[in-house]
Structure 1
């Protein structure tokens, strides 16, 4: 107590280990663990190592069926905060491919007239204030703004103007990805902004109706008697494409059946000839007066990829002249969609030694080419062809007959009864030429309609031709399916429990095919009947697998595989000296050739879900022949995939909070095809 009352202030006394801790070699001194890699090692790493690591990060985030731009940009941003070396590598990568996403409402973000565009305006301000970063930008990915534009009404022009202002802030822009609007042959800021980007390498033109048609009042104007180049749609379009000397990919798609069209020979050829670096060309939907045989044979040389689609002005004579010219010698990819080639000789001209560099060939049309009476039977051959897509829709047969046991809910017994039509001459010739070795480099065949499995028998055997969605059709007990032959009635004593939970698949009889000696159905119609309780999450996959042409083709391929397993290939019989049979064993066959290097492909380019309601699907036949379904494009990538008219649902990103265009908690990702997927 006397000490506490004294004037000496209290103080703490250090313990012995605290006194020893201050010494240099003390055992009590805390020591930090030495890093496995010292900091100076990162400073001496070459720049290529950082670029390689960042490139691997992009591949991880954007692998097949997995895409989350928000997660990718977040990781790049965090990586840029690590050090100055990482900042240089991550910043260039982050701005070289700008993923502009729609933002949710947030109090810290400025409120805009068009909801969700705050990030775009912040990016535009950054690029304007920092020209060094603006020069890094090569690609702008605006897939979410494509959806915002499609769902908007009066705000469409404002959205286009904002995208155009962002394009103007990128002086070295090469690609505008996933944002494509129709061009109405009038002035719009986006087309004008893209025309000033000299480094542009990819351009998509969606040509619509001519909105610049003169009205009656304008015709009464005396000034209209003189020609003005600024008011000429052809001159305006040529001016918009005059500064693209580095353009390598051009897509020109015209809306089929448009009312007015200012397109002329000069409109197309004049535009194409202004592009010296053009290598990939897509032309689709032009009328018979806009694109003719003369236009086709005026295409430039040195093309790498060419796709012709829905061009009624081109006939077999023009195609033969084009195939025999020097214009096709440089082609590596050739796609012919709905060109309705009539003669088998025309098709053989494309699969000939003249197309010596051809690697990928695609043909998709309704009628099968025939052989005229005065022509010899040609041969198909190609030394370097790797992949072929062979789709002649007139060879499509009825769906395989599935007869389940309703009382026991067992899976249907195989093999399916397969009543496919007889193969046409074109398919038979292709199978024979492949078997004789005229396609030595062929590695994959995709034949959606392969009567009797002629092409499938030349490929490697597959364990199964069904996908998981197709298997659910056969194994899901509550949704047994009953596919009926057009001449077979459903069993009368069927279990009543399936009266409202079945799927009718009926064949609609059509006229006899002109390329077959026997009558066969040419179309198939699918009717779906579900109760309100059966429309669960799995019903979408089941209906898609059974109603879409790819699902039907896979069922037919699977029926041939299982039918081959029922046929005996080798029979072993061993008898003893007394003649008693000791071993009697049979080895069953398989579909295909074991020594073949060709793969039989059963998956389409994209698994699509169209943007329409259930009532619309019933009206248009379940998406087979409805509007926007794209007859013949169920297997091949179309313009609708690039412009996000179709939705591709990925189950791999389910549960990701920042799912790409799925919204927070949406559980799905919307994926758009790239322009290069069209070729």
Structure 2
């Protein structure tokens, strides 16, 4: 059945004006016959544009602004609702004045505004409006009278009348309030910071005071940390951890403190013990202790007992930096206190001969000492049994001392599951041999010095064991290795090796009948640092030096970046390193002329040797006889090595490497000169290093020995000209108080700038 359309050609359907055959409602267009376009006045003809002769001018067909199907009906203005919850007609005021009401309020009993209905309560467009018959009956007319106005609208009109999103009517805007920033209370910002930030600040503060080249000292560092603790309660806890976590007491006590507390010896240690005993929370923070050197006139036993009482007050104690007292196999409170600390991480043993060993001491130095008594061996083993967290162990035997039976040291090491660093020095053949070497656990650092019971065969077998693959650093000092094949097997067998130190007097050779046809003979893919010192031949390069130099030149050590060879008379190692401008120190050229005062690294051997630990006057637990033991071992002098290397550098500059020719266009040479004479290889990545380690001296080849660690004479001001009095940051001006006197608030007793020394 055809549709009945309204009059006028302007409203003839033209295939839905660009839309599909069906409307959005899914039905046909059923506009009534007497339909009047919105916006046109009823009863009047449509206005037309005419020309001068009165003929109508054709105009493009335009849809009325509100004709169904046009884009004009999409009105983005908010839809207003009347008091019945229905959309108000355009132009009407839904908030008009009702009879007896006020302007802007709908007629309701409460006088409140009626909230528009929700999207679920709105009436939906009737489907009968889109599927109506072309001939309207009376029933359909009556039903149309009963249906809402929206049912007579097209699909676009229904879409506009019933939006798909909730709309809201008029609402009173909220008052604009100015938000004021809350004033933070003192210490609130500091309390919000994490503890890790303050721990990092305290660590940097300690580094500024204790780093190399600093003019400050440990006393100034502790003074500044105490000043930080006054800032807030949270900083108090952080400063306490930094202050008591690593305690460093250096130098002598002040006379004012002795007079104030009436304590003759060890006033700072006595006050520290009093604080730790009164406050268990602070005592639990202590991890390391550096006690001051033994005061002059104080017995060594009394000094050790005072240090032991401090250790007993610290349940989480891990490391004793000083004092290092020797062990004579008798009961000692210091070693007993250390044996009770289950969290101890580092221990240094200096073993003295027992009373029976001193009585039966043989005159020949190459003979083995007497064995220990069974109860003495058991006592030593019981001290070492409780250190499950120990990571570093150093054992050094003085001449005539021994740890027997042969399995005593190996049994003690088996009770330390966390051990990573092991230093063994001067142990007799009856104390440690090849069998004990092969029984060592997995380590990262191993140092062997003057071990009579270890042979070259034992070292070669040790390097091939799977337990040695974790070794990163190994030090062989005066081990008398007689074969280069052993060293080659160590290099190629230890796949994780990064640092290697080799010092001895004799020159290792090739096995009999073996020859080298191809290089490199020594190969290590992981080695980064190498200290090589063979002291037997001083005038020329020995056979082992030449084999090592050829191996380095043949790229046998691709990761090598640090090389120290104190005995390099021909400069064969210097030629393989990067060129440098200068190798000597400013004071080297004046030391031989006597213009710079030098301090003896070791005192002369006394005529009457005394027992270690029983020195008269109680100045030190170690006598000069103890330090003279290390003088028997020969090391190359780094001072002489620097002078020789600098001389080779200056001679190489006289032999230029490049020739420069300035050639004219016709081929004639206008200028010619030589330039860039140096010594070394430009593509090389190896640094030729001839400086001693921290705490070491040039006399020992730059290596740190055990005597450098246990020697407390480094705190003596007579051995160091430059001390700290707390005025390192007060130079250039003087402070005056109200009375006009100099303020000495920051001054303290002059103390040496002490630095910690570790075995290299």
Output the TM-score relative to the length of structure 2: 0.62
Q: Name the residue aligned to 2:413.
A: 272
Shift of the alpha carbon at 1:381? 1.1
- Residues 1:678 and 2:746 are matched in the alignment: no
Distance (whole Å) between structure 1 residues aligned to residue 358 and residue 566 of structure 2: 47
| Aligned residue number for residue 80 of structure 2 | none
Matched residue, 2:204: 56
What is the Cα deviation at residue 138 of structure 1? 0.7
1:77: how far off? 0.8
2-structure distance, mates of 1:133, 1:389: 43
SS class of match (2:563): strand
Contact kept in structure 2, 1:307 and 1:336, CA below 8 Å: yes
Match of 2:389 in 1: 246
Aligned CA distance change for structure 1 residues 655 and 96 (closer, same or farther; 3 Å): closer
3-state SS of paired residue (2:470):
coil
Structure 1 residue aligned with 2:521: 379
1:167-182 counterparts in 2 under 5 A? 167-182=311-326
Q: Which residue, 544, 547, 567 being the options, matches 1:449?
A: 567
Q: Which of these residues, 527, 552, 568, is aligned with residue 656 of structure 2?
A: 568
Residue number in structure 2 paired with 1:519: none
Structure number with larger C-alpha Rg = 2
Q: Deviations over 1:618-661 (max 9, x none)?
A: xxxxx96xxxxxxxx3321110111126649999994631599x
Match of 2:308 in 1: 164
Whether the 8 Å contact between 2:389 and 2:416 is mirrored in structure 1 is yes
Task: Go from structure 1 to structure 2 and tell me whether the alpha carbon gap of 1:575 and 1:78 turns closer, same or farther (over 3 Å shift).
Answer: closer
2:701 corresponds to: 634
Matched, 1:556 2:644: yes
Aligned mate of 1:396, from 517, 538, 541: 538
User: Cα distance 1:671–1:50, how it changes in 2: closer, same or farther (>3 A)?
Assistant: closer
* 2:289 paired with 1:140: yes
Contact in 1 for aligned 2:448/2:476 (Cα 8 Å) = yes
Quickly say closer, same or farther: Cα 1:314–1:608, change in 2 above 3 A. closer
Deviations 1:320-344 (A, max 9, x none): 1112222321100100111111111
Q: Secondary structure at the match of 1:136?
A: coil
CA distance in 2, matches of 1:429, 1:58: 46
Residue-by-residue CA offset, 1:404-459 (whole Å, 9 max, x unaligned): xxxxxxxxxxxxxxxxx1x2222222222222222121111011111321111111
With over 3 angstroms needed to count, the CA separation of the structure-2 counterparts of 1:212 and 1:190, relative to structure 1, is farther
**Residue number in structure 2 paired with 1:316:** 456
Distance 1:395 1:548 in 2: 11
Instruction: Indicate yes or no: 2:253 matched with 1:103.
Output: yes
Shifted more, 645-654 versus 319-328: the winner is 645-654
**Does the 8 Å CA contact 1:640/1:646 hold for their aligned counterparts?**
no
Aligned-partner SS, 2:247: strand
Map Cα deviations across residues 273-329 of structure 1 (whole Å, 9 max, x no partner). Answer: 1101101000001122222222222222x2010000011222211111112222321
Partner-residue secondary structure (3-state), 2:270: helix
CA–CA separation in structure 1 for the residues paired with 2:357 and 2:562? 49
Structure 2: stretches of 5+ with no match in the other structure: 1-182, 361-371, 598-634, 729-746
Give runs of aligned pairs for residues 54-133 of structure 1, distance below 5 A. Answer: 54-66=202-214, 68-101=217-250, 102-106=252-256, 109-112=260-263, 115-133=264-282
Query: Aligned-residue CA RMSD in angstroms?
Result: 3.3
1:471-526 Cα shifts (integer Å, max 9, x gaps): 4458x8x859xxxxxxxxxxxxxxxxxxxx9xxxxxxxxxxxxxxxxxxxxxxxxx
Q: Does 1:232 align with 2:299?
A: no
Q: Is the partner of 2:587 in helix, strand or coil?
A: helix
User: CA contact under 8 A between 1:210 and 1:262: conserved in structure 2?
Assistant: no
Q: Where does residue 46 of structure 1 map in the other structure?
A: 194
What displacement does 1:176 show? 0.6
Farther-moved stretch of structure 1 (463-472 vs 133-142):
463-472
Contact 1:644 1:672 in 2 (8 A): no
SS in 1 for 2:536: helix
Contact 1:293–1:313 (8 Å) recurs in 2: yes
1:250 is paired with a residue of what secondary structure?
A: strand
| Other structure's SS at 1:42 match | helix
Unaligned runs of 5+ in 1: 1-34, 217-228, 398-420, 481-500, 502-546, 610-622, 625-632
1:169 is displaced (CA, Å) by: 0.5
Q: Match of 1:195?
A: 339
Confirm or deny: 8 A CA contact 1:105 1:116 kept in the other structure. Answer: no
CA distance in 1, matches of 2:722, 2:355: 43
Q: Which residue is 1:584 aligned to?
A: 672
The alpha-carbon distance between structure 1 residues 584 and 649, as it changes in their structure 2 partners (threshold 3 A), is: farther
What displacement does 1:388 show? 0.6
Higher relative contact order (CA 8 A, sep 6+): 1
SS at match of 1:233: helix
Aligned residues, how many?
A: 506
CA distance in 1, matches of 2:265, 2:695: 28
TM-score computed with the length of structure 1 as normaliser = 0.69
**Cα separation, 1, equivalents of 2:663 and 2:446:** 64
> Would the aligned equivalents of 2:696 and 2:705 in 1 still touch at CA under 8 Å?
no
